[in-house]
């Protein structure tokens, strides 16, 4: 069983890309495969997203689960694409809203337990790219990798 942080992000990424919303477009259509882990390539095609998993220090509840937050940063351009990026953020929220991934041979148990709050970043000033549309979503989650739950059986 793979229980690495990479396996967790991979499972979440697969969920995000494969989720079919009741209305709207699948992320595999709107983003293609441009849902990157940790950092985006230097030269990118828009829109794209970046996933980062941040674990809470000392948060292994009774030594059985780990808690943390998943950050999804979404980018698009130009600013006229705000509605398009907002729609992508909506689908991402739906995909992970209380999503429960049951453990199987391909990876660990993951549970998202709260709704993300999308923070649109509006740029101004000459120091930054003012044509960039940027959303940041943070999802609270906990997961149970094999190296923790082996002690619970």
Partner 1 sequence: MTAWRSNLPSVRQALRRADRAGVQAAITIPFNQVRERLSGSKGYTSGDFSQGVDGSASLLAKTDPEQIVGGHIARFGMQAMKAGLPPYPLYWELGHRNVFLTPGADRGDKNKWVFVRVPIFVPAMHENADRMVAAYRATFARVLAGGTPPPTDPDPTREVA
Strands (E), the chain: 35-37, 48-55, 66-76, 100-101, 109-112, 119-121, 133-144
Peptide bond connecting 32 to the previous residue in cis, omega within 30 degrees of 0: no
> Binding residue for partner 1 (CB under 8 A) from 9, 82, 84, 136?
136
Whether residue 117 contacts residue 138, with contact meaning beta carbons closer than 8 Å, is answered with yes
Site for partner 1 in 20-39 (CB under 8 A): 39
Q: Which is nearer to partner 1, 11 or 73 (CB)?
A: 73
Q: Which is nearer to partner 1, 104 or 131 (CB)?
A: 131
Whether residue 118 contacts residue 135, with contact meaning beta carbons closer than 8 Å, is answered with yes
- Residues touching partner 1: how many (CB under 8 A)? 31
Site string for partner 1, 52-81 (x = CB under 8 A): --xxxxxx--------xx-x-x---x----
What is the enclosing helix (H) or strand (E) of 86? helix 82-96
**Positions in the binding site for partner 1 (CB under 8 A):** 39-40, 42-46, 54-59, 68-69, 71, 73, 77, 119, 121, 123-129, 131-132, 134, 136
């Amino acid at each position: 069983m793979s229980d690495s942080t990479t396996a967790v992000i991979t499972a979440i990424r697969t969920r995000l890309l494969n989720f079919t919303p009741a209305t709207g477009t699948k992320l595999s259509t709107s983003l293609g495969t441009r849902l990157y882990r940790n950092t985006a390539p230097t030269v990118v095609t828009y829109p794209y997203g970046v996933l980062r998993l941040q674990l809470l220090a000392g948060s292994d509840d009774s030594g059985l689960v780990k808690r943390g937050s998943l950050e999804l940063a979404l980018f698009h351009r130009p600013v006229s694409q705000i509605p398009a990026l907002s729609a992508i953020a909506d689908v991402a929220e739906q995909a992970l809203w209380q999503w429960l991934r049951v453990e199987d041979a391909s990876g660990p148990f993951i549970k998202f337990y709260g709704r993300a709050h999308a923070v649109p970043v509006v740029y101004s000033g000459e120091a930054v790219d003012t044509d960039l549309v940027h959303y940041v979503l943070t999802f609270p989650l906990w997961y149970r990798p094999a190296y923790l739950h082996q002690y619970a059986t």
